[in-house]
Structure 1
Amino acid sequence: MIDLSNNENTLLSHEFNTLNHNLICKYPCDNEYLLKNELAKIHNVSSNNITLGCGSSDVIYRTFIALNFLAKEQKKELNLIVPIPTFDLILSIAKALKIKITYINELVLDVKKIIPNEGFINLIYITNPNNPSANELSQDDLDYLTKLCVGNTYMILDEAYAEYNVNFKSIKKAYFKNIIITRTFSKIYALAGLRIGYGIACEELLQYIDKFILIDNINYYALYCALEVLKNDDFINTSRKLTLQNKAILENAFNELDIKYFKSNVNFILHEIKDEKYSDFMLELGIKVGRKIANYPLLNRISVGNINEIEQFLKALKLAKDKALV
């Protein structure tokens, strides 16, 4: 089975030294400061502006829990404002917590349509670049959103794919009181299986969010590997280069097969399909493609895999084309 559904980096392999048993028999919490310090240097913030998580999803979940609790303390409800399509986990969390959800149904987001509800604690959730469209916010978009985040309006800015674009635009980190930025080691850093990510926010907001943290939410091996990969600029640069090369192969194939797709600066491509049976057909051929996209049943997302994965995908894609599925 070739899995091209989760935007993992399968282009390169890490070569980590084996951890000393004297380290892995200890809890990691006393050494988390090592990774926080390195991340603080990269983002030009204080280590007090960094929180670590079991993937960025852990930080996002903790933020939901904290703000939902804050809303109850103020005898209000939490209102999640989320553009659709988005990262599926977000909607699952909100529904499990019975949070009000305000959907912005736009493939290409117009941020001016995001309007906080004054009667609620508002939480805006934005993926930038968007998952699954790969659209990126302009500086004007980011400026508009930051102006919204005052009083009872907060924002999670999920930048899981930011490192793929060397010209990526973000906001001044840890500067805005009501905004947390989340990043992950699961994508370009290729540590998805170790589950480690982080959040960046002002100290006051992090102190509140981290009231709900599990003290052992990350493991020592993940901590160690994250520190090692941050030292290896060649790994990141080569990953970007290979992603661009392999993405070009996919784009050329889409052009040759007359399949419409969306330009992308990240490690996946959103493309059109003609039949919802496409995913099941590809799975029968041993290729797992992207999940069904809410409100857009005739769109699918494909991860940029290694050359062997791409070759197998393209063989299956041509068969799908023959059957008028794409």
Structure 2
Amino acid sequence: MRVGIIGANGYSGIELIRLLHEHPHVTLNLIVSHSTSGTPITELYPHLQAIYEEQLEALDVDKVASQVDFLFFATPARVSKDWLPSFTQKGIPCIDISGDFRLNNPDVYKQWYQAEHTNAEYLSEAVYGLADVYPEAIKHAQVIANPGCYATAALLALIPLVEKKLISTKSIIIDGKSGVSGAGRKPSLTTLFGEVNENVKAYRLGKHQHIPEMEQILTEVSGDTVQVTFSTHLIPMTRGIMCTIYADLQETITTDDLIHAYDMYYDHTPFIRVRPEGSLPSTKEVYGSNYCDLGVTVDKRTGKLTIVSVIDNVVKGASGQAVQNMNLVNGWDIDEGLKYSPVYP
């Protein structure tokens, strides 16, 4: 199958190139970038020499549509909303890695993304691409909204417990920490080495665009309105996300019972790994892979639950989950092109 990437010059795009190059059922036929069109990809990323050396092209809808059967948007937010419908109207399934199609309500989109949604009618058509939770809906989708990186880590930890009403939805606190690659490749003061090295910095408290996405999904799962307290921190490493999540238990339950609940909920997918009691995951243990590792512990003294969820933000939090979604749409094994063990150390 011929696939293309729009926005192939960023970190998510370059990770898609790596994953698709090893995929047994696809050929990467086209890479597109508005800002760097005409440039060989190896000029931007020399490590691709002798692996993939094609030239980035400008975005021409008719030309792209004639060359691909499946399309990924790895663009910044507020870009794909203007272009993606042009391709789905031509029968080309699209996966959007930005946030433009994650929210159902255009007013909520405007509030959190500071822009009018130019194709709001597509918000109701898009399927939320949390691949390990909604595989059946994804299989029949033409527009898939790839979840945000923080949202992926947090929702995979929370959904099984919220669905089974094991925790209070009035008490959820999500403490998120991310490596610098989550900010993308565009230079900024915040991501300079001198600013990041030997430093941990909180940012966008109460304002992060993944908040409405998490609340939308948890509200759907719960049946009641859910609000979360979400704090984000930039930490001095390249890849990885850790979400440490706190909630009040609804009933007396043991750590072992919760581990069993997770194992049962995710028994259909190879990408969720639940740690045994007493073992908590770290970001290095999923580096370069499509795994989400979960660890859980119950504090009997306080009746509170702590969940630790870790992912590689560029793989499971972006491009790896996008490939997982592509596999679902095409009826392929869910782990095709993703059978990478984590890179360690």
TM-score norm. by structure 2 comes to: 0.31
TM-score norm. by structure 1 comes to: 0.32
Q: Which one has more relative contact order, counting CA pairs under 8 Å at least 6 apart?
A: 1
